[in-house]
Amino acid sequence: MEKPTLRVLGTSVTLLDVVQDLARQDMDFDMEFEVQGGVEAQQKGILRPDEYDIYDQWFHSIDLLWTAGAIQPINSDRLANWDEVSELTKSGVLYRGANLGAGSRPMDIQFVQEDCTLGSNSALRISAVPTVHNADSFSYDPKLMPAELDVNSESWKWLLSKDWRGKVGLNTDPSIGIADMILAAQAMDLVEFDDIGNLSIEEIDALVDELILLKGASHFAGFWSTVTDSVEFIQRRKGRIGGIWSPAANKLRARNVPMRVAAPSEGYRAWHSCLCLSSQLSEEKTEAAYQYLNWWLSGRPGAVLARQGYYSSTPERTKAYLSAAEWDFWYAGKPASEALNDPQGHKIIERGALREGGSHRDRMSNIVMWNTLMDEQNYLVRRWNEFLAA
């Protein structure tokens, strides 16, 4: 019998070449990976479920795909390590007392309810399999930090501060770039929001109008949609600060470009990746699809992505595939006992370095906002695109 070919649609956030190679090595069937930008992957995920079997994206996009009928429920009893998946998507926090954060929390859409809506009440059927997550902020070159600022008082407002005028870069994704600007505007008292996770039309207008004025005053140095573009943005010295995520910061460090990932006093912007089953998944591919879902909970891919700063939804499984030095630095918040490499084998962490923000527990307990889709998302996207085109 001919082996099935499992088609995975996703982004470069998780589908690194090394992850793809490892999957092909471990799976006993053929695999095809289609890597798109975040917006492009989301659009195809919604419109063309017949062209993929697995959707690999972020939790905050799940509502759109579920409403469009593009994905189907997953039976958690077919996931060998489901009981070991962290509480982040099940109850909302890793540890009691941690901040839930505003916005589209994964826990709010993790479970398929009796009426076939998505919600937080525990159920056998789930919307998606949690894979990796992180606490994001912004990164900057500490050697070029304005003298008026203090590395011990990092704040989201730096992104809109005149001290960084002409040196700021932003991600173009309207669910991410706008979140960074919301947090910066709130920290600066530039715009007042009732709920930073769900802006009204009036609040969207107030924010975007301010951003357009700042763009006209040359506050922003550039925009990007991929990790690769953000690396080039900094390396070409177009900017000095922006939404440079952990993988990009690490790539720059590997190229001897100093980068510090900020630990903002207001808290982090969090995200969580996940895997979904296409509603058009054929019966002959179902077994292969569940094998792939289980592979992501095995710890092997989580260990690869830990080396660029991401946290696994099954951390104890992942720990088995990391050295003690890697675990201590990336998860435990301890100084690196030796130099550490990224997933491609390039040295990115010097011996003695500390991860900004501390341990997994420290960072994921200090969430101010999750990447989110808002009630007025269509209007927000139109205004955001107006800002980008201004």
Classify residue 360: in a domain, yes or no: no
121 lies in the same domain as 244: no
Whether the Cβ atoms of residue 129 and residue 146 lie closer than 8 Å to each other: no
231 lies in the same domain as 264: yes
Q: Residue holding tokens 């600066």?
A: 188
The amino acid at 32: E
263 lies in the same domain as 227: yes
pLDDT digits 0-9 by tens, 20-42: 999 999 999 999 999 998 889 99
Mean pLDDT of the chain: 95
Q: How many domains does the chain have?
A: 2
230 lies in the same domain as 214: yes
Higher-confidence residue: 142 or 200? Answer: 200
Give yes or no for residue 245 having a pLDDT over 90: no
124 lies in the same domain as 158: no
Query: Which stretches within the chain are classed as H helix?
Result: 17-26, 38-47, 62-67, 177-187, 201-216, 227-235, 246-254, 283-296, 300-306, 315-319, 324-330, 360-364, 377-389
Whether the Cβ atoms of residue 296 and residue 88 lie closer than 8 Å to each other: no
What's the CATH code of the domain at 120? 3.40.190.10
What distances in angstroms separate CA 43 from CA 47, 104, 279, one per listed residue? 6, 18, 15
The domain boundary, picked from 290, 319, 348, lies at 319
Whether the Cβ atoms of residue 197 and residue 369 lie closer than 8 Å to each other: yes
Higher-confidence residue: 291 or 4? Answer: 291
Query: What local confidence, expressed as pLDDT, does residue 115 receive?
Result: 97
Give yes or no for residue 224 having a pLDDT over 80: yes
Classify residue 84: in a domain, yes or no: yes
Beta-carbon contacts of residue 332 (< 8 Å; ≥ 6 apart) = 359, 360
What is the C-alpha separation between 278 and 45, in angstroms, rounded?
Answer: 8
Q: What's the average model confidence in pLDDT over 274-288?
A: 98
What distances in angstroms separate CA 216 from CA 46, 219, 235, 290, one per listed residue? 35, 7, 24, 50
Give yes or no for residue 251 having a pLDDT over 90: no
Classify residue 301: in a domain, yes or no: yes
Query: What local confidence, expressed as pLDDT, does residue 1 receive?
Result: 61
Classify residue 96: in a domain, yes or no: yes
**108: its two tokens:** 């709010």
96 lies in the same domain as 168: no
User: What pTM value is reported for the model?
Assistant: 0.94
Give yes or no for residue 190 having a pLDDT over 90: yes
Structural domain boundaries, residue 83: 5-132+270-319
Q: Give the strand pairing for 111-112 and 118-119.
A: antiparallel
Q: What's the average model confidence in pLDDT over 59-80?
A: 97
What does residue 290 show for φ and ψ, rounded to 5 degrees?
-70, -30
Classify residue 79: in a domain, yes or no: yes
Classify residue 358: in a domain, yes or no: no
Confidence of residue 71 (pLDDT cuts 50, 70, 90): very high
What distances in angstroms separate CA 313 from CA 9, 83, 93, 297, one per listed residue? 20, 11, 12, 7
37 lies in the same domain as 121: yes
142 lies in the same domain as 126: no
Q: What's the average model confidence in pLDDT over 249-267?
A: 91
Q: Residue holding tokens 């600060």?
A: 241
Q: What's the average model confidence in pLDDT over 307-334?
A: 98
Give yes or no for residue 200 having a pLDDT over 90: yes
